[in-house]
Structure 1
Amino acid sequence: MDKQLQRELTKWLKSQSKLAKPWLMLSVGMGFLSGLLLVAQAGLLAYILQQLIIEHTDKYQLIAHFAGLIAVVALRAACSWGREVAGYRCGEHIRLHIRQLIIQRLHQLGPAFIKGRPAGSWASLILEQVEEMQDFFARYIPQMALSVLIPVVILVAVFPFNWAAGLIFLITAPLVPLFMALVGMGAADASRRNFTAMQRLSGHFYDRLQGLATLRLFNRADAEAENLHDAADTLRKRTMEVLRMAFLSSAVLEFFTAISIALVAVYFGFSFIGELDFGHYGLPITLFTGFFILLLAPEFYQPLRDLGTYYHAKAQAIGAAESIVTFLNTQADDMSQGEQPLPSPETIRISLTDVKVLSPQGQVLAGPLSFDIDAKQQVALVGPSGAGKTSLLNALLGFLPYEGSIKVNGAELREIDPAQWRQAISWVGQNPLLIHGSIRDNITLGNPLATNEHIRQVADKAFASEFIQHLERGFDHPVGDRSAGLSVGQAQRLAVARALLQNGSFWLLDEPTASLDANSEHLVQQSLNQATQGQTTLMISHRLDQLTSMDKVLVLENGQIVQQGHFSQISREGLLADMLSHTDKRDLDA
């Protein structure tokens, strides 16, 4: 990873920590207090041993010191508990904020952008990669402060007793972070490669799991299992690479820490046998001094060792942040993010002038397109597969960028508040998406203003009550993911009820009767005909026999309008006539 990019990602991560500053300060404060108590604990223990071994003091005279030692140990345990809780809350608060940023960005970019990547990669981004930042905020950031504060406290306690031991601490301390940085330079790259492999495997597995039935029908399950095995093996190698870096880092830190502690022990050993005579300010080195400093020696390096242990968490966080920051900085050209209120939302009229619909990457999907939809006009959009019909609908919904002009009631679409614009739209697609919940939940979609009476009315109008009343729990009947437990026709009638509850003044219908049996198609079409009376409507239709009732028909081919007008005017020649002839031929063959 480029060093400049690594610095920028680290800076971004640290900027997020400001959101949980109180928890962060509490975590550092608890750790610092624990460091102070550590010095007191070492002092009490060294004093007790000095009195018992050297001074031969009766142990009953030291009961107060024993009680103080127990109290200090208990307080240190409480501080450690408080530090863990504060660190967890800090990480939790920041993770929730980052997830919110990602979801808001997904909401801004829209479903057309989301479909460009496997669903598993989004799950990995929102769940796994954000989760990997927990230890960075909960442990690494507080430990950075403690790795400076606690050694300083210990140096302040040691130097008044023995300047030679303090000098050893002072000289050897920089070795730990120095070699930690040298060993950890490649950890961020290893973590980034690991996250990339994890995203690839997650997306691959999730998509293949969705299409498992199709893969088995076409006898491709074994081939896809082999592909999954290769992706899993790649992830295994990347994970082992990260673990190898982590173990190497820990081994190096332990090695240099052990050497530093050994130097202090050797110094006091030779001092006690009279081979060394310096560092004691003219006073003999006592058992208290030697034992007190030797107790503090491991603790002097412990914050630096912990920082080295959590350095792996930093590498993981940087690897995860690269994908997250890249996504958050993703630009979708001219996406509808305006703030202008929608003029006269009770009636919708739309005018397109030289509109080119673009993909999120800027490729032209359809256009140039120019046509008008007058208020309360019923317009049908037809054309062969791939003509650009769905792309046009996505542009009207604000899910795809466009060039040219789309005016709604005289206001440019990209300048209108997208939430207000979508509130004015009642949309029914060919593949209704039902969420995990009850039938009531799927009709209201969390609308707090929907009453039970209103829900029953829209269900009646959509002919959904016909099957709901036969369910044991009625509107509380549970619906599984992807409409589990309901037929396609029943799910589509719930989608129509949902659109009726929206009560929009502009109806967008994307082949709403596709893949339905004759009875369900009749009911859905009847409910839609009633709902769209007197409302501006744009419908993509695969049933050419429905076009006679429309005020205008738009015929698309290769992303451009090749015919437009009333059905009776344009059905005698051109592409529409060819489509009608093919339809008639299929009907005769059937």
Structure 2
Amino acid sequence: MSASLDKQRQKQLLTWLKQQAKQHKKLLMLSVLTGFISAIGIVAQAALFALILQELIIEGGHFSTILPYFIALMGVFVFRTLLTYAREQINFLMGQSLRRSVREQLINKIEQGGPISISQHTSGGLSTLLIEQIEDLQDFYARYLPQMRLATIIPILILIVIVPFNWAAALILFCTAPLIPIFMVLVGMGAADVNRKNFKALAYLSGHFLDRLKGLHTIRLFNQGKNQANAIHQAAESFRIRTMNVLKVAFLSSAVLEFFTSVSIAVVAVYFGFSYLGELNFGAYNGVVTLFAGFFALILAPEFFQPLRDLGTYYHAKAQAIAAADNIEGFLASNTHDTGHHTDKTHLINEIQTIEAQDLIILSPDNKPIVGPLNFTLKTPFKLALMGVSGEGKSSLLNVLLGFLPYQGSLKINQIEFHTLDIDNWRSQLSWLGQNPYLLNGSIRDNILLADRDASEQRLNQVVKQAQLDSFITQLPDGLETQIGEDAVRLSIGQAQRIAIARALLKPCQLLLLDEPTASLDKQTAQDIDAILASNYQSHNIIMVTHQMTESMSFDQIWQLRNHQIHIDQKA
């Protein structure tokens, strides 16, 4: 049963891969057309070469007699060379376009899912999906797909041109041709499964290594370096073994193809050899097997099998692409709620006046209930503190307001159901500050201007001062142009949080969402951050997730989340 399901899955993935190629059908047809014209050139070359040999050996001709044929032969050779180059360029462009298209789909899916969806995957796994596995689609589109069509067209063309000269040679080629695809399929039946296991091993190794690299300091503090090194070694060894299994399949496939091709060509050669010795007297229509017919058929015999051999060579590209598509299509098909990126969605024109929830159940990305049912009404202006122990769903409530989590029930902004809002328009009304806000690997200026690329220098300096960054920045040799490094390694946590505050201040908003912005800070720095937020956001609507009340900020509503339910304990 499992084998049957696996075969059905491979068929489904192959259909998905071909569907991706439909939007680039013109390039595919152009590649096949150039390949077909090149095959006509091969036939012309074989005919010219056979004529030259016929003229020299049988007719006893001189060089002047064969000169036109020789010039034509060189011309066809140059033409085919240029055509082959053009086809390679077309194939590369087709593969490049399709890879770009699939990568865009993945990035859009990641953007649609938001940070909650991303957190369910390791960084190494996502990078492998977006880079290595996308790249493994190249040969399927650039090689296998065009060759699959040519493997049918070119052998038929060669049979058509050989039959008028010798039907026996054409019959031999016709009878032996099916051996190659039959054994190609038999050898390659398990190739997709081998490649899929190889991809999973690579994704695990990438994620495992990157996560351990990020936690190297912690690993060393707990003296676990040797154990983790052994774990990485085992993962790498597993990946090596699976890679060698893939290569075994590829080499076995090539060996089988070469064997049956050689046998078939040898049979054609033996037939003509015995015909010239007078042992065989069939195949020619006039009873005489001419030298031209023999050379013509023998030159074209390898070319008859070449498209099938090329298809066999690229057959592992199909298996590789199916294995990659298993992860890619699975990721694209995973449940992600509609975030409202559509032109027919409602734009929030007026200022935020009310936020209402009725029987609101917040769901995880895989549609499992997290919090709820919740019932509440917020009327502006409001400053809400949302408290509770970890795991009660406080951050989930912020994430559903940010549009990153699906929900059941009703959530309305100004009496407009949330899922009908245009999410980009809604997010433009919000500003967010988390416990560990992400800073880009760039300058301080770049990170602050992420909120508004068109902000003036005066406005930039204003938010720097408001976030109490001015004294810190003046001490830096490069000032705002100082590079903070990857994961803000050149900054303290407090300095990074101040940069995030400056970025949030630069963005005008109606609603500020704060997700424990001081949880990772020492007491003095936390008090400083609270004071900065209190002095700059007095006129804003605020929802702040926190474990404890702050001395600087005053709240008019305090909600406790207990047992995934809201309890209004007190009012300040």
Q: Give TM-score, length-normalised by structure 1.
A: 0.91
Indicate the residue corresponding to 2:348 in structure 1: 343
Distance 1:413 1:347 in 2: 12
Structure 1 stretch displaced more, 59-68 or 111-120: 59-68
Distance 2:172 2:553 in 1: 94
Indicate the residue corresponding to 2:169 in structure 1: 165
- What pairs up with 1:344-423 in 2 under 5 angstroms? 344-423=349-428
Of residues 70, 76, 97, the one that matches 2:74 is: 70
Contact 1:201 1:228 in 2 (8 A): yes
Distance 1:118 1:382 in 2: 29
Indicate the residue corresponding to 2:188 in structure 1: 184
Distance 1:70 1:348 in 2: 81
**Structure 1 residue matching 2:518: 3-state secondary structure:** coil
Distance 1:429 1:283 in 2: 90
Of residues 253, 260, 280, the one that matches 1:249 is: 253
Of residues 219, 227, 230, the one that matches 1:226 is: 230
**Structure 2 residue matching 1:354: 3-state secondary structure:** strand
**Structure 2 residue matching 1:546: 3-state secondary structure:** coil
Contact 2:464 2:470 in 1 (8 A): yes
Aligned residues: 567
- What pairs up with 1:47-86 in 2 under 5 angstroms? 47-86=51-90
Indicate the residue corresponding to 1:111 in structure 2: 115
Q: Tell me, yes or no, if structure 1 residue 259 matches structure 2 residue 267.
A: no
Of residues 500, 504, 518, the one that matches 2:505 is: 500
- What pairs up with 1:82-93 in 2 under 5 angstroms? 82-93=86-97
Of residues 126, 142, 153, the one that matches 1:138 is: 142
Distance 2:353 2:63 in 1: 92
Aligned CA distance change for structure 1 residues 205 and 379 (closer, same or farther; 3 Å)? same
Indicate the residue corresponding to 2:542 in structure 1: 537
Q: Tell me, yes or no, if structure 1 residue 301 matches structure 2 residue 305.
A: yes
Indicate the residue corresponding to 1:28 in structure 2: 32
For residues 160-186 of structure 1, the C-alpha deviation after alignment (integer angstroms, 9 at most, x for no partner) is 111111111111112211221122111
Contact 1:463 1:523 in 2 (8 A): no
Aligned CA distance change for structure 1 residues 446 and 39 (closer, same or farther; 3 Å)? farther
For residues 419-449 of structure 1, the C-alpha deviation after alignment (integer angstroms, 9 at most, x for no partner) is 1121111101111211122222212227453
Measured on the aligned residues, the alpha-carbon RMSD in Å equals: 2.1
Gaps of 5+ in 1: 568-590
Indicate the residue corresponding to 2:495 in structure 1: 490
Offset at residue 307 of structure 1 (A)? 0.5
Indicate the residue corresponding to 1:461 in structure 2: 466
**Structure 2 residue matching 1:426: 3-state secondary structure:** strand
Offset at residue 566 of structure 1 (A)? 1.3
Indicate the residue corresponding to 1:559 in structure 2: 564
**Structure 2 residue matching 1:117: 3-state secondary structure:** coil
Aligned CA distance change for structure 1 residues 337 and 33 (closer, same or farther; 3 Å)? closer
Indicate the residue corresponding to 2:105 in structure 1: 101
Residue type of the alignment partner of 1:188 = A
Residue type of the alignment partner of 1:204 = H
Contact 2:451 2:507 in 1 (8 A): no
Q: Give TM-score, length-normalised by structure 2.
A: 0.94
Distance 2:201 2:465 in 1: 50
Contact 1:355 1:368 in 2 (8 A): yes
Offset at residue 520 of structure 1 (A)? 4.5
- Identity, % of aligned positions: 48
Aligned CA distance change for structure 1 residues 438 and 345 (closer, same or farther; 3 Å)? farther
Contact 1:374 1:536 in 2 (8 A): no
Indicate the residue corresponding to 1:42 in structure 2: 46
Distance 2:270 2:122 in 1: 61
**Structure 2 residue matching 1:509: 3-state secondary structure:** strand
Distance 1:149 1:114 in 2: 46
Of residues 438, 444, 451, the one that matches 2:449 is: 444
For residues 537-588 of structure 1, the C-alpha deviation after alignment (integer angstroms, 9 at most, x for no partner) is 0112344243761111112234223343314xxxxxxxxxxxxxxxxxxxxx
**Structure 1 residue matching 2:131: 3-state secondary structure:** helix
Indicate the residue corresponding to 1:581 in structure 2: none
- What pairs up with 1:503-518 in 2 under 5 angstroms? 503-517=508-522
Aligned CA distance change for structure 1 residues 61 and 449 (closer, same or farther; 3 Å)? same
Contact 1:348 1:506 in 2 (8 A): no
Structure 1 stretch displaced more, 27-36 or 478-487: 478-487
Offset at residue 158 of structure 1 (A)? 0.9
Distance 2:113 2:220 in 1: 34
Offset at residue 204 of structure 1 (A)? 1.5
Of residues 504, 526, 530, the one that matches 1:525 is: 530
Distance 2:162 2:316 in 1: 31
For residues 259-315 of structure 1, the C-alpha deviation after alignment (integer angstroms, 9 at most, x for no partner) is 110110000000011001111111522222211211110110000011011111111
Contact 1:383 1:555 in 2 (8 A): yes
Offset at residue 369 of structure 1 (A)? 2.7
